[in-house]
Amino acid sequence: MNYLPNEITLSIKATHKFSYVKSKIGVTPNIMARVAILKALESNIAPQLLETPESLGQKIPKDIAFGEYTDIFNFAIKQYIDTHSYSGDVKTLISNLIETGVYKIGNIKKPQDLESLF
């Protein structure tokens, strides 16, 4: 079963942060969204405690958002949904995971700052 929506939606805040990162070190917003999702999943926060975006901004199609890692992200989201018995909208869940992950990423101003994420 495919758990990933046809597109993901970044908040205005995430869009601005990811654009800033791209301008500083060249990492694109879709890659940063992947990192944000993974950081949020890594923390294993219950769905009701995830950050929620104040306003939505940039939309990224699924094939660009997840690229060749679609199966891995599909599995990770499935595991999260099963673990937390989540029954809500998956598109909203992914936006909330990204928003939560944005906080966990911190300030990235140079390529070496990426090392702190892993």
The pLDDT, as a whole number, for residue 2 is 85
C-alpha span between 3 and 26 (Å, rounded): 29
93 contacts 83 by C-beta, under 8 angstroms: no
The pLDDT, as a whole number, for residue 79 is 96
Domain containing residue 68: CATH number: 1.10.1220.160
* 1 found inside a domain: no
* 3 found inside a domain: no
* 105 found inside a domain: yes
The pLDDT, as a whole number, for residue 118 is 66
105 contacts 39 by C-beta, under 8 angstroms: yes
The pLDDT, as a whole number, for residue 63 is 93
For 94, the enclosing helix (H) or strand (E) is helix 90-105
* 36 found inside a domain: yes
Give the chain's domain count.
1
* 34 found inside a domain: yes
Confidence (pTM): 0.88
94 contacts 77 by C-beta, under 8 angstroms: yes
The pLDDT, as a whole number, for residue 106 is 67
C-alpha span between 28 and 33 (Å, rounded): 9
* 22 found inside a domain: yes
- Domain range for 36: 9-117
Mean pLDDT in runs of 10 for the chain (118 residues)? 89 90 88 92 92 86 94 96 94 94 76 68
